[in-house]
Structure formats: structure tokens, C-alpha cells
Homo-oligomer: A and B are copies of this chain.
Amino acid sequence: MSTNHYQFNVVMSCQGCSNAINKVLTKLQPEVSKVDISLEKQTVDVYSSLPYETILEKIKKTGKEVKSGNTL
């Protein structure tokens, strides 16, 4: 199972915001193997076998604004 590395720029104002995103993404384990969020950099790094669109939609459902996203 290949793992992709996606990075999203997400507007997060506080640790409550970043924790919420971390919570919904870690629920996708084991298809999501690692989530790394930087509140300072406003980035969400996701390592997953799932498609990019699936992860993007999951983040959007948190109600947070996704500025951009890439596959690295």
C-alpha cells in the first residue's frame, strides 16, 4: 500500500482549531498513517494511502478554510 504525502494550507486560529482537524484525520487510521499540524505555519501534513480529494473533503467538513493543497 503506497503512502502519499499531502500538504494543505489551512486557516487555524488556535489550538482548538488544529486539534479539531487532527481529530477528524486521525479517525481515518490506518488509511491515514501520520498527521502533522503546525499552527505557526498554518500547515496540515497528511501521510495516507487515501486519495487527495478524500482528505481534502474531510478537512473541508471541519468548516475550516483550506487555502491550498499539494501532493509532495
CB-nearest residue of chain B relative to A27?
A: B63
In the complex, chain B residues whose CB is within 8 Å of the CB of A62 = 20, 24, 61-63
A17-72, CB < 8 A from B: 17, 19-24, 61-64
User: What's the number of copies of this chain in the assembled complex?
Assistant: 2
CB-nearest residue of chain B relative to A23?
A: B63
CB-nearest residue of chain B relative to A12?
A: B16
- Size class of the contact patch on chain A: 10 to 19
Q: With A and B bound together, what is the CA distance between A17 and B64 in angstroms?
A: 8
Give which listed residue, B12, B13, B19, B24, contacts A61 with CB less than 8 A: B24
A-B contacts, 14 listed (Cβ < 8 Å):
A12-B16, A13-B14, A13-B17, A14-B16, A14-B17, A16-B16, A16-B17, A16-B64, A17-B17, A17-B20, A20-B20, A61-B62, A62-B62, A62-B63
